[in-house]
Amino acid sequence: MGVVVKVPGGWDVPGSEEGWAGERGAGGEGQCVVPFPGPQGTMAEARQAATFRLDLGQGTPGRRWWNPALKEVGSAGLRSWRRSLAQCKDDILSGACPAGLASGLFLFAAIQGSRFMQLDPSLGLVDWIKASLPDWPWSGSSPAAARHSTHTNAPCPTYPCPLQWAQWPSPACPNVARGAWPQSDPAPLPQVSDWWGEYVYLRSRSPLLGNSNFYILDFLSVAPTPLQAARAGNAVYAMMRFREQLGRGEIEPATLLGMRPLCSAQYRQMFNTTRIPGVSGDRLYHVRDGCSRHVVVLHRGRFFRLGTHGGLGGHLLSPRVLEQQLQYILDDSAPAQPTEEHLAALTAAPRALWAQARASLQAGDRSSKAPLEVVEGAAFFVCLEETPGPSRTSPELDERAQSVLVGTGHSRWLDKSLNLVVFASGHMGLNVEHSWADTPVPSHMWEAILAAECFELGYAADGHCRGTPNPTVGPPERLLWMLPEEVAASIPLALREAQALARDTDCHILPFTHFGRGFTRRCRIPGSSFVQLALQLARFRDQGSFCLTYEACVTRSFHEGRTETVRPCTVEACAFVRAMEDPRLTDAQRLALFQVAAEKHWALCRAALTGEGVDRHLFCLYLVSQLLRLPSPFLTQVRAERWKLSTSQSATHQPQLFDPASHPDYVCCGGGFGPADDDGYGVSYVFMGESMVTFHISCRVSSPDTESYTRAFCPPPLECPQTCPFGSPGLCVLSSQDSRRFGQHIQDAMLDVATLFGLGAGPSTRARPGEAAREASRGPEPQQAPSAPRDLEY
């Protein structure tokens, strides 16, 4: 098993290949006893967390006040204060002066002038209203008034305040809580989140392609229109309108259990944001909505500036006019220039290479840096793509997922916060840069966009956007790039690496249609616990061993919270998996072990959600130990662990937007990400209504085991020799990484687990739990195993 290490908070951490995880004892301090929908986390952060490196250069630790640890703490504090000042500024501009600064100054001058002239512009109305109102104790003379005056419009605190409520989420208001909620110990999440974003994302030097960026798709099979320009026109309009509603604070916040709003700080940089590369670290560049009234469109290697506002009032163009503009780009037959066709591959290169190339662009004349300013100042990026078809090895759905995630290596501007990808078939998806937010935030926006463009905006009978074209609107502006020689020389290098990363990424989508959340609810098992234990069983059957497993869980119930890690590969989960492969055990025994493992997983989820997880704590301890140059073997070992299975549950659908019962085809099918480890799998899943779960699976084609596929059979259970290469009794499989084969294992595992409950979910393609192990024992050299009672057939 390994050595058990005590870490702060009372967690027992078994150091073994099964992973380490634990929970507080029953009734422990800060335990949350309220159930919640499950951990909905990020997508590709596990790989970033596993690969970040801290380069401190040379030197010895010092005890002066300017030592690196204090410097980083101070820098985090300054960044937090800078964000707070920006929020205050946005509050004033969008709240106190919603009509603009000039209108605010005019109103202020008018009020001061009336006071100077001793005039009453209301003609006595204000005095009458004040005299008519009852004498309420606003000063806080009663407990109820005190609570109201303290929490109703108070600014969001640094630590969680369970009774606070401000307004709908806007770029200026990161909501924290509404209503009563169990108290937990204050956790300095803003500093943890600041370091997490700074070191795990912005200081990562790895390419964004397939490592950091993730994708979200629209629907599994249907497209509301077959016209590419029409779908793009409605989507662009809906996204720009969502941006306006967000700025006015009109977007209803995402909530926990429908009653507790989550922190909305990440919404600030959803639009008009670009990740700027640097030699040692990146930074996020954000412009105000008023300075970003266009999107940039990429089609066949050509860049276009598409203005989204026009007319006398500068209002947002209608969907039909936007479709007209996009159709002009599709009909334009001018070829791409050799220097610009593969220019976007630079954003997929290692960050240092792209930083040097961008610096050369910035150092050039106006003709070289003007197009870059247009791209980086755009609200978001639009990619008009050909429709990927089924290949010899992948169906169309898999090809679509892979295209949105990695494309051709030069068809996405990966630095932009959002890349809207629209295919010629009418399907579309979203490629998201990860440093500014975690998955639930863009998923919240994306579902609102899909609902708006399908059910509200709609399409005419001929497939076009509703409305009429406007011939007076000019065509989009073609961006002409004048690239310096050093930039042109860097493009082939970046393109080679980007295309290699794209070819090395294998994606598979598994629509599991046998059952969904309705079945797990009847089983009285949390849906995330059911799926996570099935994933452990599937992984064991695929590779013949257990591995460290990453499951992301949001911590946005805290101010500026991001994520915490749940480690599903527990001792209890391993015991259940071994029982499923043991032919001598009954279904009742397996079910009992499953329930124990599910309860353990649920306890870990509750701890992570309420700020009592261990991984972010260990991350900060490791960072401080490196800054102080104090070596810690334990923290070094934790950092060296490999996440060979990275998982995430996509955000739950918003019931007010989608009705799976009435429109089963019009439900967002979630998204996915690249694997956290080159020898592992990345799995994202989403519950689509009551009777379906969709899995998004990814792996690397270049895994060291790709060329070999062998089986090794251990003796019967409980007789496994000490020399077993896997250290686990039962069936041992050493095989290549294959996302479609792993998808089949997931489907079999889900059905096998469901059969334990006897609720008629149906059998898997495997004969029955433990059948593979029995078949293995009937190999060329049968083992002497005690006879096992044969269970009833399904």
User: 69 is written with which tokens?
Assistant: 């640890």
Closest residue by Cα to residue 432 from 694, 41, 172, 42: 42
Q: Alpha-carbon distance 203 to 197, whole Å?
A: 9
- Apex 195 CA angle, 194 and 196, nearest 5: 90
The count of other CB atoms within 10 Å of the CB of residue 333 is 6
Closest residue by Cα to residue 409 from 340, 349, 351: 349
Catalytically annotated residue among 294, 342, 410, 434: 434
Alpha helix positions (H), 628-717: 633-640
Closest residue by Cα to residue 195 from 621, 730, 583, 573: 621
User: 194 is written with which tokens?
Assistant: 């600041």
Helix (H), strand (E) at residue 733: strand 731-734
Helix (H), strand (E) at residue 622: helix 615-627
Closest residue by Cα to residue 495 from 301, 676, 329, 703: 301
434 is catalytic: yes
Q: Alpha-carbon distance 462 to 472, whole Å?
A: 23
- Apex 550 CA angle, 544 and 554, nearest 5: 155
Q: Alpha-carbon distance 653 to 745, whole Å?
A: 26
Q: In angstroms, how far is the first alpha carbon of the chain from the final one?
A: 36
Q: Alpha-carbon distance 417 to 430, whole Å?
A: 10
Closest residue by Cα to residue 263 from 652, 671, 554: 554
Q: Alpha-carbon distance 686 to 766, whole Å?
A: 24
Radius of gyration of the chain, Cα coordinates, nearest whole angstrom: 28
Q: In terms of C-beta density within 10 A (0-12 exposed, 13-18 middle, 19 or more buried), how is residue 328 classed?
A: middle
Q: Alpha-carbon distance 529 to 524, whole Å?
A: 11
* Burial annotation 753-774 (CB, 10 A radius, 16+ → b, else e): bbbbbeeebeebebebbbebbb
Query: What is 217-247 written as a DSSP string?
Result: ES-SS--S-S-HHHHHHHHHHHHHHHHHHHH
Query: Cα separations (Å) of 478 from 433, 481, 731?
Result: 25, 10, 60
Contact 354/486 with Cβ under 8 angstroms? no
Closest residue by Cα to residue 649 from 688, 597, 623: 688
Q: Which residues are CB-neighbours of 709 under 8 A, at least 6 positions away?
A: 735, 736
Catalytic positions, please?
434
